[in-house]
Amino acid sequence: MLFKNYRLIMMKISTLLFLLPFVFKSAVNNDSAWVYQNYTKKEIQIEMRDGKKLFTSIYTPVSNSEKHPILLMRTPYSCAPYGEKNFSTRLYKTYWINYLKLGYILVIQDVRGCYMSEGNFVDVRPYNQNKKNKTDIDEASDSYDTIDWLIKHTQNNNGNVGVFGISYPGFYSTMAALSNHPALKAVSPQAPVTDWFIGDDFHHNGAFALMDGFNFYYSFGKNRPKPTTEQAPFFNYNSSDNYNFFLNIGALNNYKKYMGDSIKFWNELMEHPNYDSWWKERNARQACKNIKPAILVVGGLFDAEDCFGAWNLYKAIEKQSTKTTNKIVMGPWYHGGWSRSNGSYLGNVRFGSETSKFYQNTIEIPFFNTYLKSKIVTDSFAEATVFFSGENKWRKFLQWPPKRASNFELYLSGNSKLSTIKSNEKDLFSKYVSNPNKPVPYTEDVHLHRTREYMTDDQRFASRRSDVLCFSTGILDTDIIIAGPVIADLKVSLSTSDADFVVKIIDVFPDDFKYDINYCCDGYNLKTEMGGYQMLVRGEIIRGRYRNSFETPQAFTPSQIETVKYELPDIAHTFKKGHKIMIQIQSTWFPLFDRNPQQFIDIYKCNDSDFIDSEIKVYHNDVYASKIVFPVIKSD
């Protein structure tokens, strides 16, 4: 009888899984029909103060029974499809359909110099706080002029505007907030680009994100001489192995044959290796003062591109604009995962619920309804709403990082151990040889494009390498809840004048760990057996020459013990009882980041022959005690 019931249940599950794609397609078709019946589209060239016109798609409700709020997204990635009879599929294939059914006017605009908009495009265009005439423009002024036109010319609007966007559009959302147009009431920068040298997209602590930088700028960086609806072609790798592809090209200097002189921003990157004034002008956090609209910053705990941006934009607004209503939501998502997935898993790690729907329905939509609709809905959600992986639980805080967090120090110790007590032994260290011609891969898989799943990947492949140091605790006898930025404080010496340092925080699962049921989700087969899995919780790199200053790099003196101390982006993770905490330390992470020649020379102009081995010692003794500092909170 039990066997028959089991077979019946499995048959029903199989039937349901078979029917799901058809049910989803039917729902999308119904939503598509509804949108076309209840909305109209207009394409407008909105003139800016300097005379340049920006191409704008405006989706307006047919119904005039009430006044409608406006929700704007400004993007460098095109407001396609073009043509007033062609509607964006985002209107009915994503949760945007909820805004339409609430009667929002949705507006998508090509930013200056992109696709069908006039003018010259400038990457992360610096904010100009001293505008004196109509030719002094920036993304804030373009936002202001766009909002002003929409309020004055879009029929039946209620005078309230919101702005949102993910990634680069998150940067434009921040710039819109700085415009302080009186009609702009609410802004949500999501996975926002903030600082491309310190932590977002193309650099982390001065180390160049090779794979993403090359792939993005080969296409996106192409010169656009006049408005167009066409996208520049992507690079043809003729390879399925990114590790070998980038290793075979060699030094950054060799990329000229692919980029030439036409990719302006790539060439500018090569000319600004340090955190100089050029980079600082492009730091979106430095101008977050006196912001008037309410802010909702959103990001992913496992965002491979702009995890830094979300945490640190929120902190910058808190510090510089103390009167602003400023809130943050961080979920267990990849880059933009809250809008592109149900948020129930990433890679092999599961989060126990559809976290994206929770966010959409209980936070983002109520946020905009509160400030943009004529009737106040609610503004009762917390200052910081943060999902904690490990325990798979949403937690709410009055501020972030939590005020009640206390430092929990784990010292590197002998026999590859982590200890709460500093070693009393003398002259104790661990060492490895970093060979830049055989760099540590960032994942064990062979593939072409950088994965988003690497952010939770199993790290056992790295544990087995001789150029990766591993230190771990014993089996935990209680839960340890980490909430905030982690500090890596290493005492090191090198045989050369420079090297990179990668620190990875890892959750080691029990040997008998398994999920309750194996299921297929979004076409991705998840593992059930996860015994001994070494889950990457957070990894971060620093280019050693910037250990004391990003502005003024310094060479290492060979064999001299020095401190490399830096901050890893915030963590919200619970190491459960029965698990272990592991720390891995290495000096290459390829091709996620470019290779350091391990000499104090200009990395952007050096040659293949300049790459040399470095013997690296990490000290953990009574005088030089390397440690990792965690912010820990007590369980509820």
Class in CATH terms, 406-633: mainly beta
**CA atoms of 548 and 551, how far apart (whole Å):** 9
Lookup result for tokens 């492009």? 282
pLDDT (mean) for 385-410: 96
pLDDT at 519 over 70: no
Judged on CB neighbours under 10 Å (0-12, 13-18, 19+), 502 is: buried
SS3 category, 560: coil
pLDDT score recorded for residue 238: 93
* Phi, psi angles (nearest 5°) of residue 272: -130, 70
The band of 271, judged by pLDDT with boundaries at 50, 70 and 90, is very high
Range in 2-6, 460-464, 480-484, 593-597 with the lowest mean pLDDT: 2-6
The band of 29, judged by pLDDT with boundaries at 50, 70 and 90, is confident
pLDDT (mean) for 411-428: 95
pLDDT score recorded for residue 256: 93
CB of 92 closer than 8 Å to CB of 28: yes
pLDDT at 7 over 60: no
Query: Does 485 sit behind a cis peptide bond, omega within 30 degrees of 0 on the bond before it?
Result: no
CB of 239 closer than 8 Å to CB of 249: no
In the chain, pLDDT over 90 holds for what percent of residues? Answer: 90
**CA atoms of 211 and 207, how far apart (whole Å):** 12
pLDDT score recorded for residue 527: 72
**pLDDT tens, position by position, 150-164:** 999 999 999 999 999
When the candidates are 3.20.20.140, 3.90.1300.10, 3.40.50.1820, 1.10.240.10, the CATH number that belongs to 34-190 is: 3.40.50.1820
**pLDDT tens, position by position, 197-210:** 999 999 999 999 99
Q: How far is CA 137 from CA 96, 117, 287, 622, in A?
A: 31, 15, 15, 57
DSSP-H helix ranges across 186-255: 210-220, 242-249
pLDDT score recorded for residue 379: 56
Cα dihedral 289, 294, 300, 306 sign? negative
pLDDT score recorded for residue 9: 45
pLDDT at 430 over 90: yes
The band of 93, judged by pLDDT with boundaries at 50, 70 and 90, is very high
Angle (CA) 579-585-587 rounded to 5° is: 150
pLDDT score recorded for residue 20: 44
Strands (E), 392-499: 393-397, 406-412, 418-419, 429-434, 469-472, 480-494
Q: How far apart are the first and last CA of the chain?
A: 44
The band of 381, judged by pLDDT with boundaries at 50, 70 and 90, is confident
* Phi, psi angles (nearest 5°) of residue 199: -155, -10
pLDDT (mean) for 413-427: 94
Beta-ladder partners of 520: 525
pLDDT at 273 over 50: yes
Beta-ladder partners of 406: 632
Helix (H) and strand (E) counts for the chain?
A: 15, 27
pLDDT at 12 over 60: no
Q: Where are the domains of the chain?
A: 34-190, 203-279, 406-633
CB of 616 closer than 8 Å to CB of 492: yes
Token reading at 297: 């910053």
**CA atoms of 289 and 294, how far apart (whole Å):** 13
DSSP-H helix ranges across 103-159: 139-153
pTM to 2 decimals?
0.93
CATH of domain 203-279: 1.10.3020.10
The band of 631, judged by pLDDT with boundaries at 50, 70 and 90, is very high
Q: How far is CA 303 from CA 336, 511, 571, in A?
A: 8, 28, 12
**pLDDT tens, position by position, 126-184:** 999 999 999 999 999 999 999 999 999 999 999 999 999 999 999 999 999 999 999 99
**pLDDT tens, position by position, 33-69:** 999 999 999 999 999 999 999 999 999 999 988 999 9
